[in-house]
């Protein structure tokens, strides 16, 4: 069978789809190695994969505050690119699967001559827009050629729904659907889950406090997860609002009525998989949060708040989604599509099809 290297980074929501695809490929008998940041080593090995040594890559942790310059340097990191090339020389691979934002490693993959694939764990529309904008301009100024690297890829795996992200047909793009897990819904009292990012966005604590104030007094149970960056005790939470640093979404979602999130693709798709309408409270104008929120509004399955929305605005949006209405039918229609997409299977099929002819006969 094939030897495959997966290149990821410590960015939060980008990791689960990469690991789900890696698990599907490993279950089919392929050898999987994962190259990520140093702080990911334990998680990679805990998932049963070999972690590639990171000798030259920048040190990066999702839990630390990061400037735009930090992020751009990480996306174009030639140190991780060097680690990838060193690993390919040490032990050749048949295919490299690269996170779409790791453009330094993507450029190195193209230069290596080894077939490579791109994992787009967000809207393809967002990716194309970002590469035409400041992200692409800055990285091209460093000598990277993201456009050429995408054109030369064996396949681009896009983990989105056609109903929300209309991908251009043909070429090397394969839209396989979201990679999320789900459980059957259960009957519960009306419940709002408030959960922003596990990534350390600036101003997130203030935004979460606004969300808590907006949800207070609604005719629903309110559960808030703060994540690793916000101390639950720092929030002024009124009676009736549960605040936890962590709570397993997989256990909560089957009984949730509305998700109030930041617009991260993975969490939003997990909510839809449980037929949950989504209110998006975006955190970063440079990220895909607002684009995702607009797409849910167009589909009738959610609401997009302004980044500086007031507690009153939050209350109005969440109250509207708690009520009965066509938004629940829209969320259920999208949920059925998410559940039927089998994204990890489709991604693994696309990657196997991109392997050199000898790789599947080893």
Is the domain of 204 the same as that of 331? Answer: yes
Is the domain of 216 the same as that of 146? Answer: no
CATH assignment of the domain containing 50: 3.40.50.2000
Report if residue 183 sits inside a domain: no
* The dihedral formed by the CA atoms of 330, 334, 339 and 340, expressed in degrees to the nearest 10: 120
What proportion of the chain, given as a percentage, has pLDDT over 70?
A: 99
What is d(CA 136, CA 147) in angstroms, rounded to the nearest whole number?
9
- Spatial neighbors of 74 by CB under 8 A, at least 6 apart, are 9, 58, 60, 66
The per-residue pLDDT for 359 is: 73
Q: How confident is the model at residue 163 (pLDDT cuts 50, 70, 90)?
A: very high
192 pLDDT higher than 70: yes
The per-residue pLDDT for 269 is: 97
The per-residue pLDDT for 362 is: 57
What is d(CA 97, CA 105) in angstroms, rounded to the nearest whole number?
10
Is the domain of 13 the same as that of 154? Answer: yes
Q: By residue range, what is the domain housing residue 234?
A: 191-340
Q: How confident is the model at residue 272 (pLDDT cuts 50, 70, 90)?
A: very high
184 pLDDT higher than 80: yes
Report if residue 182 sits inside a domain: no
pTM of the entire predicted model: 0.93
What is d(CA 163, CA 315) in angstroms, rounded to the nearest whole number?
28
358 pLDDT higher than 70: no
Backbone angles phi, psi at 269, to 5 degrees: -70, -35
- Exposed / middle / buried, residue 340 (Cβ in 10 Å: 0-12, 13-18, 19+): exposed
Is the domain of 128 the same as that of 47? Answer: yes
Q: Match 């009520």 to its residue by tokens.
A: 323
Is the domain of 331 the same as that of 356? Answer: no
Is the domain of 247 the same as that of 352? Answer: no
The per-residue pLDDT for 226 is: 92
Is the domain of 103 the same as that of 195? Answer: no
361 pLDDT higher than 60: no
Is the domain of 240 the same as that of 114? Answer: no
Report if residue 186 sits inside a domain: no
How many structural domains compose the chain? 2
The per-residue pLDDT for 360 is: 62
197 or 347: which carries more pLDDT confidence? 347
Is the domain of 56 the same as that of 147? Answer: yes
Decide if 10 contacts 331 (C-beta within 8 A).
no
Q: Provide mean pLDDT across the span 89-113.
A: 97
Is the domain of 60 the same as that of 149? Answer: yes
Decide if 315 contacts 289 (C-beta within 8 A).
no
Report if residue 181 sits inside a domain: no
- Spatial neighbors of 297 by CB under 8 A, at least 6 apart, are 303, 304
Is the domain of 50 the same as that of 32? Answer: yes
The per-residue pLDDT for 44 is: 96
Is the domain of 150 the same as that of 280? Answer: no
- Spatial neighbors of 6 by CB under 8 A, at least 6 apart, are 18, 21, 22, 32, 33, 34, 35, 49, 96, 97
């Amino acid at each position: 069978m094939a030897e495959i290297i997966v290149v990821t980074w410590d960015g939060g929501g980008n990791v689960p789809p990469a690991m789900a695809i890696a698990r599907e490929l490993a279950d089919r008998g392929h050898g999987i190695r994962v190259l990520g940041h140093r702080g990911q080593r334990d998680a990679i090995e805990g998932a049963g994969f070999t972690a590639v040594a990171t000798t030259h890559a920048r040190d990066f942790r999702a839990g630390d505050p990061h400037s735009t310059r930090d992020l751009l340097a990480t996306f174009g990191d030639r140190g991780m690119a060097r680690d990838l090339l060193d690993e390919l020389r040490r032990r050749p691979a048949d295919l490299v699967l690269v996170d779409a934002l790791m453009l330094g490693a993507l450029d190195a993959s193209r230069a290596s001559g080894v077939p490579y694939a791109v994992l787009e764990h967000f809207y393809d529309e967002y990716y194309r827009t970002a590469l035409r904008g400041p992200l692409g301009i800055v990285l091209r100024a460093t000598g990277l050629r993201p456009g050429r690297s995408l054109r030369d890829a064996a396949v681009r795996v896009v983990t989105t729904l056609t109903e929300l992200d209309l991908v251009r047909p043909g070429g090397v793009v394969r839209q396989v659907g979201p990679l999320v897990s789900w459980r059957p819904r259960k009957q519960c009292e009306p419940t709002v889950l408030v959960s922003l990012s596990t990534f350390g966005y600036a101003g997130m604590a203030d935004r979460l406090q606004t969300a808590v104030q907006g949800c207070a007094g609604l005719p629903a149970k309110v559960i808030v997860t703060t994540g690793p960056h916000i101390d639950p005790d720092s929030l002024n939470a009124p009676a009736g609002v549960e605040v936890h640093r962590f709570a397993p979404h997989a256990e909560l979602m089957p009984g949730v009525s509305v998700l109030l999130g930041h617009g991260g693709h993975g969490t939003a798709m997990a909510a839809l998989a449980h037929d949950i309408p989504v209110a998006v409270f975006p955190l970063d104008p440079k990220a895909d949060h607002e684009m995702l929120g607009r797409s849910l509004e167009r589909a009738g399955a959610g609401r997009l708040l302004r980044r500086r929305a007031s507690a009153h605005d939050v209350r109005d949006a969440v109250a509207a989604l708690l009520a009965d209405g066509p938004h629940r039918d829209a969320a259920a229609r999208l949920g059925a599509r998410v559940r039927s997409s089998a994204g990890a299977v489709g991604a693994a099929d696309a990657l196997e099809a991109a392997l050199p002819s000898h790789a599947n006969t080893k």
